[in-house]
Amino acid sequence: MIARAFSLVLAVVVCSGLMLLPAMRGSELTPAGHGLLPPLMMAASALFVHGLGYRPRRRWSVWLLSPWLLWPLTVALAALWWQHSAVG
């Protein structure tokens, strides 16, 4: 239950940041930053799926929606996106 709540909170934080930051930093996004957005949004979507309580039946989807995979993947993608979207 706590893992699902954490997944939901992490998804809301990532999606909120993605909605607010590109508006402020839109002209600063590099091609690499734009390339990281689709996998980051897919990871955030998977966090929503896990956080809202979906219980997959297939082995590959259980692994794919595991918080042990989703949390570090989402944090790493968000950090990479932030690094590549910064002007420096």
| Buried-exposed string 37-57: b where 16+ CB fall within 10 A, e elsewhere | eeebeebbebbbbbbeeeeee
Say how far apart CA 11 and CA 17 lie, in whole Å. 10
Say how far apart CA 31 and CA 12 lie, in whole Å. 25
Domain segments of the chain: what residues? 2-85
**pTM (two decimals):** 0.85
Say how far apart CA 76 and CA 57 lie, in whole Å. 27
Cα-based distances in Å from 56 to 10, 15, 67, 68: 20, 23, 13, 15
Say how far apart CA 18 and CA 59 lie, in whole Å. 31
Residue 23 or 77, more confident: 77
26-70 per-position pLDDT tens digit: 566 778 878 888 999 999 999 999 999 999 999 999 998 899 999
